[in-house]
C-alpha cells in the first residue's frame, strides 16, 4: 500500500487553511460588518456570528493569526499522514 509524504500533506493542509483565513479577511474587508454577518450566518446554517465578530482587528494580529492557522494546519496534515502511514504498514 502507498504511503503519504508527511511534509507535503502538512504543507498542503497548512496552505489551504491559510488561504481560507485570508479569504475570510478579504470577505470582512469587502463586505463590511453587516455583509460579513449575513455571509457567515448563511454558511453556518443560521448561527449568529454578530456577537463575536470583530472588525477592528489590527494588521499584526491578523498576520499572527495566519501564521498560527498555518502551523495548526501543517500539524493536522502531518498527523493525518502519520496515522495513515502507520495503518498502511500494518496491512
Dump pLDDT digits (tens) for 58-82: 999 999 999 999 999 999 999 999 9
Contact residues for 45 (Cβ-Cβ < 8 A; gap 6+): none
For the chain, the structural domain boundaries read 6-30+57-90
At 22, give phi and psi (nearest 5°).
-65, -40
Q: What is the pLDDT, as a whole number, of residue 59? A: 93
C-alpha cell at 39: 455571509
Spell out a b/e string for 17-36, using b for 16 or more CB atoms within 10 Å of the CB, else e.
bbeebeebeeebeeeeeeeb
- Whether 91 shows a pLDDT value over 70: the answer reads no
**Cβ distance 1 to 91 under 8 Å?**
yes
Amino acid at each position: 500500500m502507498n504511503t503519504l509524504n508527511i511534509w507535503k500533506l502538512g504543507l498542503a493542509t497548512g496552505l489551504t487553511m491559510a488561504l481560507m483565513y485570508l479569504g475570510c479577511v478579504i470577505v470582512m474587508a469587502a463586505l463590511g460588518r453587516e455583509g460579513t454577518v449575513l455571509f457567515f450566518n448563511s454558511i453556518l446554517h443560521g448561527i449568529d456570528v454578530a456577537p463575536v465578530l470583530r472588525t477592528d482587528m489590527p494588521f499584526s494580529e491578523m498576520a499572527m493569526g495566519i501564521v498560527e492557522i498555518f502551523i495548526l494546519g501543517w500539524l493536522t496534515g502531518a498527523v493525518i499522514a502519520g496515522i495513515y502511514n502507520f495503518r498502511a504498514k500494518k496491512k
